[in-house]
Structure 1
Amino acid sequence: MSDMIPGMGGIGIGEIGAGRGVIRGTAAADGPSFADTFKQALGQVSAVQDDAAQKVNAFVSGDPSVELHQVMAATEEAGIALEMLVEVRNKVLEAWQSLSTMQS
């Protein structure tokens, strides 16, 4: 997995946590950084999508242990997780743009 965030103009995940002059030094020393939290969320969404893909493949190949309602629930969960992640990305991008206009 790449450290670049799609749609954020080449901003890397590590750069968000470290700051680029705007947010530097504001992270709590005892908690996880935003970058770590975001990486964990990306991993969880990826795992949900992988699980849905496995269930779809098992169902299509005729595995009797996978039923249609399980496939539908898994794919819906993966879709909702992806939508949530995109909205978080959009809010982060909006906040970044707002901060960058304040600095101008």
Structure 2
Amino acid sequence: MRLRLALPVVMIAPLLTGCLGTVVDVVTLPVDIASSAFDAATTSQSEADENRGRELRKREERLGKLERRYGKEMDDCERGDEKACEEARRIYAEIQELLPSVPVEPSRR
């Protein structure tokens, strides 16, 4: 009796291995989807550092442009151009607003 039961199980076992893999895939699918969604929703530390550096460079670039424009407008203002004086004041206010968000680099000797 045991031999009769063992023989069909041995014959069917190789056919079930593919099904077992599929069952494992179906069971782990929700976990894979959740982890992918979590990875997409979160930012790694290195990505956060890169983003922070990119934003800092943009602010520094903007500050440099404003300072150059301010210098040009001040030159025109000193020559008596009232519109240039007004523009210089506006640019100066924008520079003052932007300065706190740009870190000061230590002086090099």
TM-score range, shorter chain: 0.3 to 0.5
Report the TM-score when normalising by structure 1.
Answer: 0.44
Higher helix share: 2
- Max radius of gyration: which structure? 2
Report the TM-score when normalising by structure 2.
Answer: 0.42
